Amino acid sequence: MLAAVLLAAAAAMPASGHHSAALFDTSKQVAIDGVVTKYDWRNPHLYMSLRATDASGAAFDQEIEAGASSVLLPLGLKPDSVAIGERVTVRGNPSKLGPGHTMLGRELVKADGSVLPLNVGSTASRVVPQDVSATSIAGTWLPRRDQFGAFAGGGRFPLTDQGRAAVAAFDARKAAYVDCIPVTAPTLMLYPVTSVVEVGKDVARLHVDWMSSERVVYLDGRAHPTNAAPSLQGHSIGHWEGGALVVDTTQFTEHKQGNSMSLPSGPRKHLVERFTLSDDHKHLKYDLVLEDPDYLAAPVTYGAEWDYRPDLAPTGMPCDLEVARRFLTQQ
């Protein structure tokens, strides 16, 4: 077997939770002051509109695209954070198509000066550390957003020729999320959304608040079935090594973004994960080894941490197909 490649979080490229900022001019920052006329709390994007006034005094409506509600809720934005008729200022990036088109919201400033995040990368994100301890890996957890970007960008993945060609040909307009199909593990497990781990005698369930994703891990000693139909999140079997849960998953469906946000996965994808409670019981260590000989020239290993967040609850909001495809009309 080829030597595994360890990905350093600081060295990999950032990634977006959806179609990225490709449609927006991220080299420019704009600020729009106006009255909120729409605030749609939806997945996989939140949309809002402001009625504003230009330099000549003429009124205009500015639509703003923000992140997903399931991503923004743990960061401090809530369904009742903004009210229709409220005057606010939104800072963000303009559309590459010019004035009159949807802008990318980064943060929202209220009349009292408080700042709320509209994007996973916003410095206004209010992730509050909790001084609570878990008793096992079961519970409610929040993966760290910087570790998601480090892995999902795939910037240091060792690629085969087929992998390099796939990354070069990636088109966000044809990605799986356009059809409300979520990414697969391990990228799914690093999404900065509320994740709930349930552990029973014979099965563990991993609920991820991203497009209603759930994984089932069989703990009853069974092997992977032979000649079984592949599935989106594959077939997972697990066992305990001390207090750590080790999960082996195969039989993934081929996926347009099965290995990173721009790298597909093939039928021979194989994932081994380890879930370990930290010594202080405030974090869950998540380690993985990913193999896919069709797209990866060597196995990829990665380690991350989730924070214990029993104060959080999943939004439970499914992906809205109309919202997922709305950016296509901005071409």
Domain edges within the chain? 5-17+130-308, 30-127
Give the pLDDT of residue 2.
33
Name beta bridge partners: 308: 141
Q: What sections of the chain are H helices per DSSP? A: 69-72, 145-152, 161-169, 187-190, 321-325
Q: What does each C-alpha distance from 200 to 115, 180, 216, 281, 282 come to in angstroms?
A: 41, 30, 11, 20, 21
Tell me the per-residue pLDDT of 92-148, one tens digit each, with 9 for 90 and over: 999 998 888 999 999 999 999 999 999 988 877 766 667 899 999 999 999 998 899
259 pLDDT higher than 90? yes
CATH class of 30-127: mainly beta
> pLDDT tens digits for 229-256?
999 999 999 999 999 999 999 999 999 9
Give residue for tokens 């198509």.
97
pLDDT at 21: 63
Two tokens, residue 24: 């927006």
- The one-letter amino acid code at 117 reads P
pLDDT at 122: 84
Position 18 pLDDT exceeds 60: no
Rounded Cα distance, 38 and 102, in Å: 13
Asked whether the bond before 186 is cis by omega within 30 degrees of 0, the reply is yes
